[in-house]
Chain A
Amino acid sequence: MKNKNTNNLVFSTILGNGSDKNSNGKDYNVQSSTFRLIFSFINLYALILILLFFIVKGNLVEGIDNNFLDTGFSSVLNARAMLLFLLLTSLNITAYFNYGFKYVCLIMLVYMLNSAIDNAVLFSGFMHITDRPYFSAFNVTRPLFIIALFWVFIIHKDKDKSD
């Protein structure tokens, strides 16, 4: 009798935890409209940035001189675009399942800050606002993207208190 009670307790604990963490039950949190708006902005900004890279790579934009791309910036942009895409995908997945969102958001925030510092230190000599208005627009508005990520990180409502 005692074993049966213990087993029931174990099963109910396992099932209880399982339903809390993995099911799409009634206990999910509805995010605020501000969150949804900023999250859409983050997605849009990142996608346009990745798209712009592919346009530049395919020589579809005028005003990008070859010297600029020969400095090694092309390979840097290539790797950065791929990493950004992977992080953006992870961010969307964690937002959908509402699990681990804050950590992925933090990782993306740190990654964007690091790439901004790298660009400022390594390529500041090659970047002139009037030469490449498309890139300059994104470099100038990058703090806005970083602020948006930080904002989303703060206002996100977790399902799990430990998260």
Chain B
Amino acid sequence: MFENPQLSNFFWLSMSIAYAFCFSSLYTYLTIPEYTFELNNNAQINITMKLATVRLVIVAVALLVYPMILFRFFKYAKYFTVALTAWAVAIYIDDIFVLTEVIKYPESGLITSIQSLRPILIVSLLLMSIELVFRPLTAD
């Protein structure tokens, strides 16, 4: 029923880092104190939190679905990983270069640290994608 993907330890390490980052993000955004919004109650922060909620729902779904695809439908794992990597890069570029004038994250230490650690997630996902795309064909 379940396949053994036979991937390197490097892949599992990258996947662990990516999972740890995603769970930290979920925890951070779900436990933001309410007074943060009361202090900074402006439209930009509200709209940003709305966007963050939509993104976190997608992250939660991806966290649940990914192990299933990796162990059950390994053939499609590389496409799914590339899609997730592309999405992570797209939202990073969006936040840094495209939506700078539109969105504003609440001033909180945890959120700031999560935002600054986003390149680590991108690097982990990139390493996972590279391993899945360029791995030897015989293991398929």
Kindly state whether residue B47 has any CB partner on chain A within 8 Å. Answer: yes
Given contacts A79-B98, A118-B94, A122-B99, contact A110 B83 (CB under 8 A): yes
Contact with B along A51-84 (1 / 0, CB 8 A): 0000000000000000000011001100110010
A41: interface (CB < 8 Å)? no
How many residue pairs at the A-B interface have CB separations less than 8 Å? 53
B138 to chain A, nearest CB (A): 11
Which one, B11-19, B34-42, B85-93, is touching chain A?
A: B85-93
Q: Judging by beta carbons under 8 Å apart, are A75 and B54 in contact?
A: no
Interface string of B89-124 (1 = CB under 8 A from A): 011011001111111000000000000000000000
Residues of B contacting A: mostly: helix
Contact: A103 with B97, CB < 8 Å?
A: no
Tell which of A80, A122, A161 touches B103, judged by Cβ atoms closer than 8 Å: A122
A111 to B98, CA, bound (A): 13
Chain A residues near B86 (CB-CB < 8 A): 106-107, 110-111
Interchain CB contact under 8 A, A75 and B51:
no
Whether B101 pairs with A75 at a CB distance below 8 angstroms is yes
Interface size on B (CB < 8 Å)?
Answer: 22
A30 contacts chain B at the CB level, 8 A cutoff? no
B51 touches A79 (CB 8 A): no
Inside 8 A of B54's CB, which chain A residues have their CB? Answer: 117, 121
Considering the chains assembled together, what is the distance between the CA atoms of A106 and B80 in angstroms?
9
Known: A79-B97, A117-B54, A122-B47. A103 touches B87 (CB 8 A): no
Q: Which residues of A lie under 8 Å from residue B82 when comparing CB positions?
A: 103, 106-107
Contact B83 A122 (CB under 8 A): no
Contact B101 A118 (CB under 8 A): no
Within 8 A of A (CB), among B126-140: 133, 137
B59 to chain A, nearest CB (A): 13
CB <8 Å contact, B101 and A72: yes
Cβ of A156 < 8 Å from any Cβ of B?
no
* Whole-angstrom CA separation of A49 from B55 in the bound complex: 26
Closest to A162 in B: B137
Which residues of B come within 8 Å of A, CB atoms? 47, 50-51, 54, 79, 82-83, 86-87, 90-91, 93-94, 97-103, 133, 137
| 17 more A-B residue pairs beyond the given contacts A71-B102, A103-B82, with a C-beta to C-beta distance below 8 A | A72-B102, A75-B100, A103-B133, A106-B82, A106-B83, A107-B82, A110-B83, A110-B86, A114-B87, A115-B90, A118-B51, A118-B94, A121-B50, A122-B47, A122-B99, A122-B102, A122-B103
25 A-B residue pairings within 8 Å (CB atoms): A71-B102, A72-B101, A75-B98, A75-B101, A76-B99, A76-B102, A80-B98, A83-B93, A83-B98, A102-B79, A103-B82, A106-B82, A107-B82, A110-B83, A110-B86, A111-B86, A114-B87, A114-B90, A114-B91, A114-B94, A118-B94, A121-B51, A122-B51, A122-B99, A122-B103
